[in-house]
């Protein structure tokens, strides 16, 4: 895959060695997360709204209530910046200045638009369940017309994007290396816990095979990358 084009909008300005325009790198960061933050402008005011996203090739989707302020503001072709960030560690240095964090982030720029075609909208709504829980749709009751009407789907082609990654131990100044205060990385990760069944679940309803990726104790980013790969295989 080629790199994303670079413009003043997505050019990495600071610490260039951490930056990348590589599509596979950007995709992996996006696919490893369930939630993103979407920045958009409404009457000159910026908003930063968390939402669930999913990706098909070079298109990102998000959705919500048809009454949502964010979605109504975006459906007419709003400029959007969608960002996904993973915190991977706290980096403690021998100087305040060299403290940092390990992270993986992707910023994506594009123009949001409403998915208007009813067939395309229904396909997108099926995709969100299928992408996170491949095979689950076959076990669910069908969507109702009212549910489809109540939901707005936004799509955005990725025009430009940039990834930024810090994945290293501490970068102390050489002359600080002898100072006798602990320095290093405290890793952090987002992990899956033990499933909590619905209180109205018929007794002995087993955990289905389509949830196998979400094994308790596993990293969520790994599970999400795995389900995306299964989804892409179809």
Query: 168-197: which residues touch a second copy (CB under 8 A)?
Result: 169-170, 172, 176-197
Q: What is the rounded CA–CA span in Å between residue 99 and residue 93?
A: 5
Q: What is the rounded CA–CA span in Å between residue 163 and residue 6?
A: 12
CB count in 10 Å sphere of residue 168: 13
Each residue 51-90 as x (binds a second copy by CB under 8 A) or -, in order, gives -x-----------xx-xxx---------xxxxx-x-x-xx
- Pick 119 or 201: Cβ nearer a second copy: 201
Q: Nearest to residue 104, comparing CAs of 213, 191, 19, 227?
A: 19
Closest CB 127 distance from a second copy, rounded Å? 10
101 lines the binding site for a second copy (CB under 8 A): yes
233 lines the binding site for a second copy (CB under 8 A): no
Stretch that binds a second copy, among 7-15, 20-28, 54-62, 113-121 (CB under 8 A): 7-15
**Are the beta carbons of 164 and 105 closer than 8 angstroms?**
yes
119 lines the binding site for a second copy (CB under 8 A): no
Closest CB 6 distance from a second copy, rounded Å? 14
Q: Which two tokens stand for residue 221?
A: 């980013």
Q: Which two tokens stand for residue 137?
A: 């749709």
CB count in 10 Å sphere of residue 78: 20
Closest CB 214 distance from a second copy, rounded Å? 5
153 Cβ contact list (under 8 Å, min separation 6): 61, 62, 63, 114, 115, 121, 124, 125
Pick one of 1, 24, 140, 167: the residue that binds a second copy (CB under 8 A): 140
154 lines the binding site for a second copy (CB under 8 A): no
- Pick 77 or 184: Cβ nearer a second copy: 184
Pick one of 126, 212, 222, 230: the residue that binds a second copy (CB under 8 A): 126
Number of residues that bind a second copy (CB under 8 A): 97
Pick one of 18, 23, 123, 136: the residue that binds a second copy (CB under 8 A): 136
Residue 137 has φ and ψ, to the nearest 5°, of -55, -35
Sign of CA dihedral 141, 113, 45, 37: positive
Closest CB 184 distance from a second copy, rounded Å? 4
- Pick 17 or 182: Cβ nearer a second copy: 182
Pick one of 18, 37, 113, 166: the residue that binds a second copy (CB under 8 A): 37
**Are the beta carbons of 168 and 101 closer than 8 angstroms?**
no
Q: What is the rounded CA–CA span in Å between residue 166 and residue 8?
A: 22
- Pick 24 or 140: Cβ nearer a second copy: 140
């Amino acid at each position: 895959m080629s790199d994303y084009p670079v413009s003043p909008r997505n050019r990495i300005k600071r610490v260039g060695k951490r930056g990348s325009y590589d599509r596979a790198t950007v995709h992996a960061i996006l696919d490893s997360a369930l939630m993103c933050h979407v920045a958009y402008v409404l009457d000159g005011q910026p908003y930063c709204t968390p939402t669930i996203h999913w990706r098909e090739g070079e298109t990102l989707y998000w959705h919500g209530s048809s009454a949502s302020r964010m979605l109504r503001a975006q459906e007419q072709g709003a400029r959007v910046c969608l960002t996904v960030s993973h915190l991977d560690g706290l980096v403690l240095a021998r100087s305040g200045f060299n403290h940092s964090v390990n992270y993986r982030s992707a910023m994506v720029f594009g123009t949001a638009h409403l998915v208007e075609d009813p067939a395309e909208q229904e396909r997108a709504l099926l995709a969100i369940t299928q992408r996170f829980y491949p095979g689950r749709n076959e076990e669910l009751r069908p969507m109702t017309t009212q549910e489809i009407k109540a939901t707005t789907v936004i799509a955005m082609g990725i025009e430009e994007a940039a990834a930024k990654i810090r994945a290293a131990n501490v970068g102390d100044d050489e002359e600080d290396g002898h100072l006798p205060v602990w320095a290093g990385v405290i890793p952090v990760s987002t992990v899956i816990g033990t499933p909590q069944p619905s209180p109205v679940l018929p007794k002995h309803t087993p955990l289905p095979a389509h949830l196998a990726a979400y094994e308790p104790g596993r990293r969520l980013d790994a599970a999400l990358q795995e389900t995306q790969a299964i989804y892409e295989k179809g």
